[in-house]
Amino acid sequence: MDSDLTWSERRGELIHLSFMLTGRLRALMDQRAAELDLSPMQARALWVMQDPTPMGELAEKLHCDASNVTGIVDRLEDQGLMERVIDPDDRRRRNLVVTEEGRARSVSLRDRLHEGNPVLALTDDEVEVMLTLLGRMLEAPD
Amino acid sequence: MDSDLTWSERRGELIHLSFMLTGRLRALMDQRAAELDLSPMQARALWVMQDPTPMGELAEKLHCDASNVTGIVDRLEDQGLMERVIDPDDRRRRNLVVTEEGRARSVSLRDRLHEGNPVLALTDDEVEVMLTLLGRMLEAPD
DNA sequence: TATTGTTATACTCTATAACTATA
DNA sequence: TATAGTTATAGAGTATAACAATA
């Protein structure tokens, strides 16, 4: 069916454009993070964190191996932005807690991510539509 | 104005969700790339390339420093996926050309990026809307 | 025995600065 | 002098495998 081919092509185009947007947003995030002395992964850790979060759970949220999280959290701890707290119920587990300073840094990052964000090109109505579509794309399990 | 505050919050939510989608798409890209023996940056280079592209232009498209491109292209050349061709009009310039094998690898990657892509959660009509909105977000200069 | 997290390793990515060769 | 690209360097991210502590 011809129209089917067209739909397929449209989806291909959408996938391409979504990766182009991803590249832009990544560049924006990394640039703003660097202004705040945060490496890309440190920034993403602060971005996705909701304390308390065990190391392994943070690894999942960052889409990387658990062994990497050790170093990333080490450097965040060095900056006093995060703390490891041993879970009293399971002493193997380290619950990550964002410090007050870490939360302040996270808020600064969030504010800076508005400036120059491609999302600002949308009208208010389009923002609503986009929120709905993003919600549908993200509701599927990871 | 109250409604203004709401719009601002909506945009904040949209920015947050767009970065969550970015994280998902990055993980998907890196995973599929690895299956094809491509590092994340090698995959992105193939993804954004449109030959012939000088080194510096590829650096811009990858949002990274020009010095990094040397190594990335070295490794792509090692795999026979790309070639440096000295520009006859300006012998300082190296034009990058994707080889036939490189193009095949690129097509494989594109095909694999459809499987498990969050974009598949959208209906055909929603895809059309999303294409329009993405186009508006990306039309502004980088 | 299984799980949580760390360490060791080798490779890739990263920006900065100094360099080569062309223009 | 200016530009295109490379090299050197130091730091950060990456997966794999082996390990420690705890369950």
Comparing B58 with B142, the larger pLDDT belongs to: B58
CB distance from B9 to chain A under 8 Å?
Answer: no
Binned average pLDDT, 10 residues per bin, chain A of 142 residues: 70 94 96 97 96 96 98 98 98 98 96 93 95 93 74
**A94-113 confidence digits (pLDDT tens):** 999 999 999 999 999 999 99
pLDDT-derived band at B142 (thresholds 50, 70, 90) equals confident
In CATH, what number does A2-116 get?
Answer: 1.10.10.10
Inter-chain CB pairs, A–B, below 8 Å = 146
DSSP state for residue A120 in the 8-state scheme: G
Mean pLDDT of B83-91: 97
Give the pLDDT mean for B13-22: 94
Domains of chain B by residue range: 2-139
Pick the CATH number of B2-139 from 1.10.10.10, 3.30.1490.190, 3.30.559.10, 3.40.50.300: 1.10.10.10
Q: Taking CB atoms and an 8 Å limit, are A122 and B140 in contact across chains?
A: no
Between chains, do A11 and B120 touch, taking CB under 8 Å as contact? yes
Q: Does A91 touch chain B (CB under 8 A)?
A: no
Write down the pLDDT at residue B141. Answer: 74
Tens digits of residue pLDDT in B36-78: 999 999 999 999 998 899 999 999 999 999 999 999 999 999 9
Tell me if B38 sits within 8 A of B51, measured CB to CB: no
- pLDDT score at B8: 84
pTM for the whole structure: 0.91
